[in-house]
Structure 1
């Protein structure tokens, strides 16, 4: 059994091999620097965003989408930023650019359409749960939900022969997939995903939420871990949001997760209803090529 330090070194070496494909884009780095400087304005941030026409269009589309439910149209990037907030801008820009970046990472083992449908569905549930739990900056949980399975793309590209049979056997059941990854290569896609978020400079709380989304009991009892774990669980219970090509399956949350969230399981149908209203539009905004 590998030690924790050995495992971390192996994961870092794995990411170093694909660093050219998974490094954060310059525009995300500049946005974070500008926001951290604490003297930025909506106009100064808009000037950065507008250097990428595609990102500008996506941010405007998001601000006008069902995700925000505004009753008037937002016409400028600076106005969109003033409405959704600087931190939300950063998190949404990160979501858009990360999805584009990691879509360049090919894998013969991944059904790309199913992968991104699951990712977006999980992201929307995570944001919904964060809002219900009154978590500060709920868009950061949208990002964690969107990126929670990115480690899979890295693993399946690097170890296709080792993982192929286990993926076929698991039939898309993510808990089984993660367990078999740990048995075959010593770590799972969630741990690789947490390391990816570290590489992209996301907060440690989100790194942990992604790294332990299949094993929340092994992590500190944080609201972020519980949210991403529950979002992933609830997404897998739906045909639209399941990570399995075979549709919904009986994914169960870790005992005590609802209690950690301070919520009751009876709200599940309401969450699915909210997310279904936003799902297709958000999917096509975040990643237009992820269509049926």
Structure 2
């Protein structure tokens, strides 16, 4: 059986050890589809999971948010930080915690990947707000989870993934191209498969899936995929984690399509670098 078929079977077979979505995330995704969802319902749901509730409060009181007064309850966190942001934080920390407990081998930098992914998530949110895209929290999740496929490769196909990494370095090509050559599928496509299996809405999993193939993304999600692709690049430039820089011509085209100037891009990188300590502290709470 070809490696890519083994990977697809691994994701689709619910009896395998590929992590399933935490119950709280399933409930939140389901809740988000309901028209009568309220802050009270969200607070009650989070409060039923003491570990998640504690992390939400710790994040709410972290240096990143810079609150002058302590946030001491989930309802207050939702009021101060915002309903949608608490939802995205809960989903993000649940997925990070699920994967961070897995053994991906000594040669895989799990922390580096998540620091890079957090950088991508925060950049995605900021760009979305700058461009007037209403789904800023959904795109935060897309950016945060865009590289999950790399973790699945490292855990379940370590030899093939190591070969792909070596091939990318030796031939100076993008890692996702080397993955396609050696594994028959790249990490972005695999991420999309996993998120679809977990019943994430298209608005979240399609931009994550298409961040290396924005030209093929459906028109209604293409701008969101462009945001994730450019944010991925910004996080690389800010030196968050171990990554390969996307070739400049493609990035220049993406930047121009988003209407972002070179100076604005440089300022975004500078801002990310200045937030590095806060983002690393963020990860330590979220994992």
Shorter chain as normaliser: what TM range?
Answer: 0.7 to 0.9
Q: Which residue of 1 aligns with 2:281?
A: 284
What displacement does 1:176 show? Answer: 2.1
Could you tell me how far apart the structure 1 residues matched to 2:118 and 2:26 are? 23
In structure 1, the partner of 2:271 is 274
By how many angstroms is 1:230 displaced? 0.4
Does the C-alpha gap of structure 1 residues 172 and 101 become closer, same or farther in structure 2, counting only changes over 3 Å?
A: farther
Write the mapping of 1:1-292 to structure 2, written as runs, cut at 5 A.
Answer: 11-17=7-13, 20-108=17-105, 109-171=107-169, 176-221=174-219, 222-239=222-239, 241-244=240-243, 251-252=247-248, 253-288=250-285
Number of paired residues?
Answer: 280
Deviations 1:147-188 (A, max 9, x none): 111101112222222232331243499962111111122210
Q: Distance in 2 between matches of 1:175 and 1:79?
A: 48
**Structure 1 residues 223 and 88 mapped into 2: Cα distance closer, same or farther (>3 Å)?**
same
Normalising by structure 1, what TM-score?
0.84
| Contact preservation (8 Å) 1:124, 1:279 | no
Determine the C-alpha separation between the residues in 1 that align with 2:172 and 2:268. Answer: 21
Say if 1:106 and 1:157, in contact at 8 Å, map to a contact too.
Answer: yes
Partner-residue secondary structure (3-state), 2:275: helix
Q: Is the 8 A contact 2:179 2:185 kept in 1?
A: yes
Moved more, 138-147 or 222-231: 138-147
CA gap 1:66/1:130 in 2 versus in 1, 3 angstroms? farther
Q: 1:78 to 1:277 in 2, by over 3 A?
A: farther
Give distance in 2, aligned partners of 1:37 and 1:231: 30
- When structure 1 is superposed on structure 2, of 217-226 and 188-197 the one drifting more is 217-226
Q: How far 1:66 sits from its partner (Å)?
A: 4.9
Give the alignment's TM-score, normalised by structure 2. Answer: 0.85
**1:249 shift after superposition:** 5.1
CA offsets per residue over residues 21-42 of structure 1, 9 Å max, x none?
4211111122233343333432
Counterparts of 2:188 and 2:125, CA distance in 1: 19
Structure 1 pair 67/172, CA: closer, same or farther in 2 (3 Å)? farther
Once structures 1 and 2 are overlaid, which stretch shifts more, 22-31 or 161-170?
A: 161-170
Q: Any conservation in 1 of the 2:97–2:286 contact (CA below 8 Å)? A: no
**Runs of 5+ in structure 2 lacking a partner?**
none
Would you say the 8 A contact 1:123–1:146 is kept in 2? yes
